[in-house]
Amino acid sequence: MSIELSNNVLESAKKILLKYPLCNHCLGRLFAKLGHGLGNDDRGYSLKLVLTMELHRIIRNNRDNYKDLLRKLAENGGEPLTKLYEHLYNETISSRECILCKNIISRKYFEELADKAIKAINEYNATSFLIGVSIDRELQLKEIEIASESGLEYSESIKNEIKREAGKIVRDKLGIEPDFNRPDIVVVFDLTGNYDVIVNPVLLLGRYWKTARNISHVVWITRGIRKYPYSIEEFFNEALKEVYDAERVVLHASGREDVDVRMLGTGRPMVLEIKNPRFRLVDYDLLNSLIVSNRVQGEIIGQASRKHIELLKTELSKKSKIYKALIYTSEPISEEKLLYLEEFFTNKVVRQLTPKRILYRKKERLRTRKVYQVKTRYIDQHLFEALIRSDGGLYIKELISGDDGRTTPSFTEILGVNTHCIELDVIGVEVPLLP
């Protein structure tokens, strides 16, 4: 025997409960966008309550014709439908387990998840958080199947409900709002309450200076043998890892200088990524006092974001830089020759094939960059100093030597004598990186 209810929501709830056993939360979630301010458990119970009342009105004087239908609804819906069935037919009946959550979801369940999240937040000294939920594909598909029968426009996912309800409890207990953009940690639960903690790194914006030579950017190992004794990244790792009780410190910079090149002047923009820190709030004055040595020095000026790292790797790495080079010539040169060199390399396009010295690790390709200005200082017939302002990414040593014609024009080509860079320093990086 079928019953057509006048209310569309009740009719949808009835049809769904005839087919699927659902707890209050999982039924209410199908109508989550209806009834402002209600919890899904309230929605689900209210639907079952009104459905019970409406069914009682319809079948109370004709109960024998509707026994099987009410039994099915009571088995799938639980209270108060079971109580109505027992009242009308004087038979005890048990409700079935919710097909979606297995009767796990409840206020107590949300409280338990929140307590686990709070434990993780405190363990990592986090000041912002986010709750995540991971459910298996089978459950996702079953949820979509059921929701499509009630009209997807009203429903929300089980993941959303768990994230929201547990997140609200954490918020109320700790007095901090969930951070949907960049939380310190994300606590990801599965449906059984097991969880993983994803700790977002601390990102520090700043600059570094390298005042000694033969220091690599990162640890350089070739064929299992360390090539250089020290690296810039190691310096920051040794200085800051313990302070943050972190896994390690990763250096992101706007380009990189060669191992034998110093980074002086304005310093090189960088972001330090503190991986898996257990402490997050460290005074900048303390940090800056720790990253000073006679070989490498850093300065932290604020918090960074992933956008800053992206800018370092793309936009800023291509901006102009200023270099100072000490240059030796194989034959005597005059100050007049140096003046001509300055004039020639004013806004001059330079084409470079990948330098021979790095062909073993980089593919052959043509690179085009611009030299904006060259200023020279005559020292003697075989020695001069040059300030070179050029695009980032220009190979300065090859600009000077010509690299056997692989870079053109070059100092060697224009001066008509073989030139060699003895020492090279970076002294300026255009467009400072700001918070």
Residues annotated as part of the active site: 258
CB 180 within 8 A of CB 133: no
Q: Provide the token pair at 260.
A: 């034998």
SS3 letters for the chain? CCCCCCCHHHHHHHHHHHHCCCCHHHHHHHHCCCCCCCCHHHHHHHHHHHHHHHHHHHHCCCHHHHHHHHHHHHHHHCCCHHHHHHHHHCCCCCCCCCCCCCCCCCHHHHHHHHHHHHHHHHHCCCCCEEEEECCCHHHHHHHHHHHHHHCHHHCCCHHHHHHHHHHHHHHHHHCCCECCCCCCEEEEECCCCCEEEEECCEEEEEEEEECCCCCECCCCEECCEECCCCEHHHHHHHHHHHHHCCCEEEEEECCCCCCCCEEEEEEEEEEEEEECCCCCCCCHHHHHHHCECCCEEEEEEEECCHHHHHHHHCCHHHCCEEEEEEEEECCCCCHHHHHHHHHHCCCEEEEEECCHHHCCCCCCCEEEEEEEEEEEEEEECCEEEEEEEECCCCCHHHHHHCCCCCEECCHHHHHCCCEEEEEEEEEEECCCCCC
